[in-house]
Structures are given as C-alpha cells and as structure tokens.
Amino acid sequence: MPTTTRLVVIAVFPDVDLLDVTGPAEVFALANREAARVGGRAAGYEVRLAGRTRGEVTTSAGVRLVADCAFAEVGGVLDTLLVPGAVEMLPAGPVARIDQDIVEWIKQIAPQARRVASVCVGAHLLAAAGLLDGRTATTHWSTAAQLAAENPAVTVDPDPIFVRSGKVWTGAGISACMDLALALVAEDLGEEIALAVARQLVMYLKRQGGQSQFSVPLSQPPAARRDIDELRVFITDHLDGDLSAAALAGRMCLSERHFARVFRQETGTSAATYVEAARVEAARRLLESTDQPLDQVATGCGFGSIETLHRALRKQIGTTPAAYRRRFRTTN
C-alpha cells in the first residue's frame, strides 16, 4: 500500500524564530523514521518552507534558511499549515510583528489545510487573519496581553503550552513548538509513535497541552533579597515538610508579620499561596507520570490528605486529581 503524503507547509520570513521552524520539522522527520521502524512504512510527512520568494531567509538567530517555494506557489490540499512568528524588541518588551502580506496569504491558504497551527507569536498572525475569533488560544507569555488587547474576539489563555480548538492549534513559545508538533504526530499516528519520537529527541517526557508554560519557581522573577530566593529553593525541596508561615518565618529569623510583608514585597504573593502552588505543581507531575495512589501523592506533596489535595486542584486548575490523571497521564 503506498504511503499517504502529509504535506506540511511552514511559513518563513525575516527574523522568524529559528527553533519554531526547525523544531517541528525535526519532529516530523523523526516521525517518518519511527513509523517506518515500528510499522514498516514511513508516516509520509513532507515538510516545505514557504516564503515571500524562494531562497534564503535570515532568522532572528542570524542563521539562514532556504524557502523551497514562494507563498504564491503554495496550492492544492495541505495537511498542515504551520505559522511561526517574529517580534520587535522595544524598550517596554517584545511586540509581535504583524505583516499584512503574510496575513492575507494565511487567509487564502488556510481553507485548503486540514489543520492550521501557530507556534509562539505566530498566533498573532492567525488572529489577524480571523482564524482565532471565537476560539481559545495561547501564545508566548510575553505577548499574551498584546494578543488579548488587539483581538477581543479571542479568548487568550497565556498558561498552556498548546491549545487545540477544532482544526486550529496554537502553541506557546520557543521549545513548546516540539510539544505541539508531537501532539500533531500523536493525532495522526498515535501515542506510541509520538513517544518514540520524544525519546529520540531525548525529551524528558511528551508534555500535554494543559501543562503550564512555567513551573512555579520560573513564574516568579528573582527576588532582590537572596535569602528569599534561597527560601523558595528550600520550599521546592521540602514540600512534604512544615511550610507554615510560622516555620518559614522562623527559618529566616523574622517575626511572622515582618516575614509576610517581606515575602509579598519580593514575590508579589503570600507565602501560603506560593507554597500551595508549588505543591499543586508537584502533584500534577506525579499524576501525569506515575500510578501512585492519591493518598501517596497527597502525602508526598505536603497536602496531608486526599481531601486537601482535591480542594487545592479544584481551586487552582478547576478539576479533580482523578480527572486530571485520566486526561494527562503519560504512559511509557
């Protein structure tokens, strides 16, 4: 039986993020190889880079790519249209670049694709083309506010690493392009092939879309006080211990009142809220990657009881431990 060709077209243009292009391309190439190894025939992915014209395109990293074809030459039925993005670095921070020529091309070509996906700030281009109206979407955390402000018809969720809404997928920034591409492979070829590709890429695990772009420590900027940063490391390493305000204040040799004021000033949140978020993150990792009973998950993460674990997950992510595990459990 001949292999069905899955044509993947990736848009490229000046200052596009290099990994947003090469990361998914590598995933699709490895999927071809792993499908041939496991199932005896290739997955049939064919990746083409499309630019304004054929030829060299300089990425934001300064590395040059070569567009296989011009936008005007792309036609026929596509399996996947993948749109990365580019940013302007302004004093106030990065701003997603929106090129109207590319937006018009997306409007024309998207109906010919079985599915459309954006990587990083490419979501801004899909939104400008009207493809995200009435949908939930994500993008790189640094431009999520811009996406929401400029596109009130889009529900922007800055937390997940990728979001699927019908035939349209949106991914978070930079390395999350690999997770998005793996999810596309899993949809096409199944979890076994996607996990085999993840292993070839030496990725720790194939992350699910509902996972956060940031771990709790990374979501907080470095504190001005070194002792607060050291305390945050201590919290992460001792989630099953006594992390009450009294215990943490005592560790820092401060009164509870002074400690509460210092911690909030340095982190923007209370110690109790920070500890609960860190414990929920640890519980999510265990629910995703192990078969530990819920009482062990609760105890190991410092919740003390299944009931407390339930309340914390419902409060922070709106679901129960069992429901979260059913949706996001990753098997080896």
Q: Which residue has the higher pLDDT, 131 or 320?
A: 131
Q: What is the pLDDT of residue 1?
A: 39
43 & 171 share domain:
yes
Residue 247 domain boundaries = 216-328
Q: What is the pLDDT of residue 297?
A: 94
Last residue of a domain, one of 148, 171, 200: 200
Confidence of residue 39 (pLDDT cuts 50, 70, 90): low
260 & 317 share domain:
yes
pLDDT, one tens digit per residue, over 182-222 is 989 988 988 788 888 888 887 644 455 455 544 455 445 55
Among candidate residues 69, 120, 177, 253, the one labeled active-site is 120
38 touches 192 (CB < 8 A): yes
**For tokens 């956060």, what's the residue?**
212
Q: Is residue 206 part of a domain?
A: no
Residue 69: active-site member: no
Helix, strand, coil shares of the chain, percent, nearest 5, are: 50, 15, 35
Q: What b/e readout covers 155-179, taking b as 16+ CB neighbours within 10 angstroms?
A: ebebbbbbbbeeebbbbbbbebbbb
67 & 158 share domain:
yes
Q: What is the pLDDT of residue 329?
A: 63
192 & 230 share domain:
no
Query: Has residue 67 got a pLDDT over 90?
Result: yes
Close Cβ partners of 199 (under 8 Å, ≥ 6 residues apart): none
135 & 276 share domain:
no
Q: Please state whether 76 falls in left (phi above 0), alpha (psi between -120 and 50) or beta.
A: left
Confidence of residue 146 (pLDDT cuts 50, 70, 90): very high
303 & 228 share domain:
yes
Q: Is residue 208 part of a domain?
A: no
220 & 101 share domain:
no
Residues 25, 276: Cα–Cα separation, whole Å: 39
Confidence of residue 325 (pLDDT cuts 50, 70, 90): confident
What's the sign of the alpha-carbon dihedral 272, 278, 282, 288? positive
Last residue of a domain, one of 200, 233, 256: 200
Query: Has residue 255 got a pLDDT over 60?
Result: yes
Which residue, 308, 276, 281, 275, is CA-closest to 294?
A: 308
Query: Can you give the CATH number for the domain in which 303 is found?
Result: 1.10.10.60
**What's the structural domain count of the chain?**
2
Q: What b/e readout covers 59-73, taking b as 16+ CB neighbours within 10 angstroms?
A: beeeeebebbeebee
156 & 227 share domain:
no
222 & 195 share domain:
no
172 & 293 share domain:
no
